[in-house]
Chain A
Amino acid sequence: MKILMIAILIGIIGIMSIYSSTYQNQIRLWRMQIIWLFLGIVSFLFFLHYDYRRFWDITYFLYVAVIILLWLVLILGSVRLGAQRWLRVAWFNLQPSELAKLIIVIFLSRYFSKKSALDIGLLSSKFGILRAIVIPFLFVAFPVGLIIEQPDLGSGVIMIVIFLGMLYLADIRLKYIFIFLFLIIFSLPFCWHFLRDYQKARLMVFLNPNADPLGAGYTLLQSKIAIGSGGFWGRGWLLGTQSQLRFLPESHTDFIFATFAEERGLLGSVALLILYYFLIREGLLIAQRTQEQFGRLLAGGISFMLGIQVSINIAMTMGLVPIVGLPLPLFSYGGSSMVVTFIALGILANIEKRRAVF
């Protein structure tokens, strides 16, 4: 229940920030976000009572379903902001890449939690390189490829990072993980050629933020100005000029942290960081307490997924990592991210509940 309380609190703060940065618009996005929050809570409660071990059985079905969704995005997705990331379903837009992250976590948890007949420990620690890295990577690479093709480099990279995290949590030999890491690093120069121009520009801006202050560097510059001008106390709710006057692009989605930091200052943003920290710590503690392998990996993976998204998003608004299209979970505007995050937290809560049953 602690998890739900923290998540709802973050969600409400998020709605206030969304209200602040969009209340001048025609569309009442904050009202939509309230609906998403409500739907999120409902999904949380549903998955709180849904035995997570049933995922074991439907893992492959989920995997295939998400592949189909990603493929559908490519052929009939709606193009927005230069990217094709959404599927129009009934009255809302579904972003399957959000779902894909969770499903990859479930898939990998199942893959790595095969029990050995002789031993209580994880079999995966004794895997050879083929079973430890190559086969699961192929399974991950397929949806990642589809996501990068959208193009959504951010989600793609996040999934690779989640894969790495899962490898680590699954007790795969460090030697293999490092080999994999080196292979990725060495292939980066070749990947450069496959990047689109705007992605190259973003990377260049990360390396030299003053290179193009009116073009690619604009967003980062405005984001840093927004955060920096917050000071200790912040400029006050609805008084952040960077977002109110729309100097800051994406002020209610990817860069909402900058909006929040401008209006609430150091005090507010550190408080938000602490809330996120408690949420992630809670997830990791659940993983630590869980003895059952699938549940343990699942809880660790979900916490890892959450932590990596929060840190990369916040770091990106401060120019510490390159800008990628990535929402701040529970906080940014967006239904898919909100509902998927609540589902993930519901699963987490369920794992904790089941553990108590034993």
Chain B
Amino acid sequence: MRIKFVRISVIFIFLFLGSNLLYLEIFRGREFRHKSFKNRIRLLPQEGCRGKILDRNNHPIVDNELSYDVFILPQDSSAQTQKLLQEISRVLQRPIQDLNIALKSQFVAPFAPILLVNDIEIRQAIMLEELKTDFPGIIVQTRVKRHYPFGRLASHLIGYLGEIDPWRLKKLADYGYKSKDIVGFSGIEEKYDYYLRQEEGGLSIEVDHRGRFVRVVGYRPPKNGKDIQLTIDLRLQKIVEEIMRDRIGSVIIMEPGQGEILAMASFPNFNPAIFIKKSNSLLKDILHHPEAPLLNRAISGTYPAGSIFKLVVAIAALETEKLDLKRRFFCSGKMQIGKQEFSCWDVHNDENLQEAISHSCNIFFYHTGLLLGGQLIHDWGLQLGFYKPTGIDLPYEASGFVPSPLWRSLFRLRNWSAGDTANLSIGQAELLVTPLQVCRMMAILANQGKLVTPHVVKSIAGKEILWPEKRIIGIHLKKKTLDYLRQGLRRVVMDKDGTAHNLSSLSVSVAGKTGTAQVAAGAPHGWFAGFFPYKDPKFVLCVFLEHGGSGYAASSLAKQIIEKMLQEGLIES
């Protein structure tokens, strides 16, 4: 009977359907339930604020501000969208073609919002928000953006922000960094990125089939980054950058006792905001600029030290007692060492060490250097902090270089000659130093023989940091040596023929040393390093002018800076 066959078939068909239900609902149930969850749950990330960077008096150097981006949802009809684009182009005063291009190039799906224009003004944002009643497809989203209230001020110190690069991502992936994260590049932003960075929070919401909001399912508040207080004094930093403007070089002002950096400037500088806006042409300009504006000359630039290095020779000679305080040399303007004739920049006649420092006499230091020998000068250079990073809490610090007889025979395959010693004695030869190293060396004379670790961060999130890296090394110089050399540095300013006599007119007593470093090509570098007030030094100042001509140029810049500081009452007399 056919009807019986139909009845049996029905049983089999229903068993088949039932077993399929079993398969879908039980065996693949978990998978489908997850898919259903993914269907309806959307995560809306919420960014916290990156930590602010404050100066020592808690004035912000870098903070955050809100920026506004315009998105549209292309799900409405195209006629409606075109009308909306017209309205947007009217408000933002941008050609509608640009908006159309943005719309077409970024279109993914009708429910995916498209970023039309970023970073519009708040006034425009409000006007666009008002369009929402007529065009529900427009979205104005706020975003927290790094804000630089002083523009280029302290740009090297701060660094800039950008999207994480593969190299950093690989290094930092274990610390919770993800691709497309915004991280610091150079300066405080890089070194303290881990503290500054915010933690992403967010909202998980349930949406319907058209992606419309239904209800909030969960919320984790974003965490703001920690604020970092620097040792920088914003007022000093401003003075320094104001005076330094349009020159190439760097200025460091440091507190000598602890090594707190009060101001640090490097020129040319850059505007960190352009890295946020990602305007390609500006970035290209910066990266291909012949004067390398991204280089922090204060810590990463290495230069011949010139006469500044004579202090190292002087300290070495006095400490090793190779030179008696009463010892005098005669400067006739030139001197024969080996087969070569070495000259001084002037004729200084008979002089002692203090006078030689004051005049910055080369001949005297040739003699002194020859008494010491190359190896001892090298050793004392190292002891006074050269040829190694100072340990400042900023990335990419250079170590500089101090040549030694051993190095010469190993890497230059030449023997060390007396001429090399002479050259090194006046800070030439292959010697390379960073302005910060010079500053720290000068601090030894200001703080009675302590080698400090310079640093720029005072506290993080209100907590003073006292890590061992900030240690101060005593180098146990004899009191006699220190007093004698300090007097010498004072005489540089006070003597009529001292190289920094121009600073004598200041109402604060300054002591220091100038330097004019010869370079292979171009004008010599100008150095001035000193401290003030003389009796109880509160500031160590180091001015470096790349191809600045002479130490005199550097000392006159120092004069301007100190004058301005006096004017603003920053120096207690």
Contact = CB atoms under 8 A, between A and B. Distances in A.
Contacts of B21: 227, 261, 266, 269-270, 273, 318
B4 interface: yes
Nearest to A170: B2
A225 B223 CA distance: 36
Nearest to B20: A318
Interface residues of B, number: 34
B75 to A, nearest CB: 13
Interface SS, A side: helix
Given A168-B2, A304-B6, 17 more contacts: A225-B39, A227-B32, A228-B24, A228-B29, A232-B26, A242-B36, A242-B39, A246-B210, A247-B36, A247-B39, A247-B208, A276-B14, A280-B10, A311-B17, A314-B17, A318-B17, A320-B20
A149 to B, nearest CB: 30
Contacts of A270: 18, 21
A229 B29 contact: yes
A307 B206 contact: no
B267 to A, nearest CB: 56
Given A266-B21, A311-B17, A241 B26 contact: no
Most chain B C-beta atoms within 10 Å of own C-beta, residue among A229, A232, A281, A303: A229
A230 B1 CA distance: 40
A107 B210 CA distance: 47
A228 B18 CA distance: 13
Given A247-B209, A277-B14, A280-B10, A269 B39 contact: no
A108 to B, nearest CB: 15
Nearest to B13: A311
Contacts, number: 114
B29 A300 contact: no
Contact of A277 (B2, B11, B210): B11
Interface string A211-230: 00010000000101111111
B132 interface: no
B25 A230 contact: yes
Contacts of B39: 222, 225, 241-242, 245, 247
A315 interface: yes
Contacts of A226: 36
A301 B18 CA distance: 24
A308 to B, nearest CB: 9
B10 A307 contact: yes
Interface string B1-40: 1111011001101100110111011101101110110011
Interface of A: 165, 168-169, 171, 214, 222, 224-232, 241-242, 245-247, 261, 265-266, 269-270, 273, 276-277, 280-281, 284-285, 287-288, 300, 303-304, 307, 311, 314-315, 318, 320
A297 to B, nearest CB: 10
A275 to B, nearest CB: 11
A214 B207 contact: no
B209 A214 contact: no
A328 to B, nearest CB: 12
A261 B2 contact: no
A266 B206 CA distance: 25
Nearest to A266: B25
Nearest to A218: B209
A277 B6 contact: no
7 contacts: A241-B40, A245-B208, A245-B214, A273-B14, A303-B6, A307-B13, A318-B17
B473 interface: no
A280 B32 CA distance: 31
